Amino acid sequence: MNKLLEAALAARQNAHAPFSKFKVGAAIEDESGRIFTGCNVENATYGLTLCAERVAVFKAISEGARNFKRIAVAADTGVLTPPCGACRQILWEFCGDAELTLVNLQGKTEVFQLRDLFPRPFDASFL
């Protein structure tokens, strides 16, 4: 298994999911090979919960990273779990048509280009 997938699986262990019990980890790699991770962090109000993908992107941006090339998302599901709509929007804006790999705890993977999960996205080109 490659480092990006291992990082997403490891980040999943840090998830704070006391309500849903649905732990997710994400890892994002920039063009220089640095990997930034995130996990979902739930809140009692649910609306303030952050998904693992957004945590990873915001963490990378806060560390000065730009130009991302790969993303991995890890969850404990038989059917691999894609990013939610809000995360797809954030991933598109910051990563463009990056490679996205979904992975579960058994090592099953699926690889997509982000455009395949988020056709005709809204971005700065419409402003």
**What is the Cα–Cα distance from 43 to 55, expressed in whole angstroms?**
14
Of the candidates 31, 53, 99, 110, the residue annotated as catalytic is 53
Residue 102 and residue 82 in contact, taking contact as beta carbons nearer than 8 Å: yes
Per-position DSSP letters for 6-37, written without gaps between them: HHHHHHHTT-B-TTT---EEEEEEETTS-EEE
Residue 115 CA: distances (Å) to CA of 25, 55, 78, 79: 21, 21, 23, 20
Instruction: State yes or no: is 63 an active-site residue.
Output: no
Structure tokens at 109: 């993977």
Catalytically active residues are 53
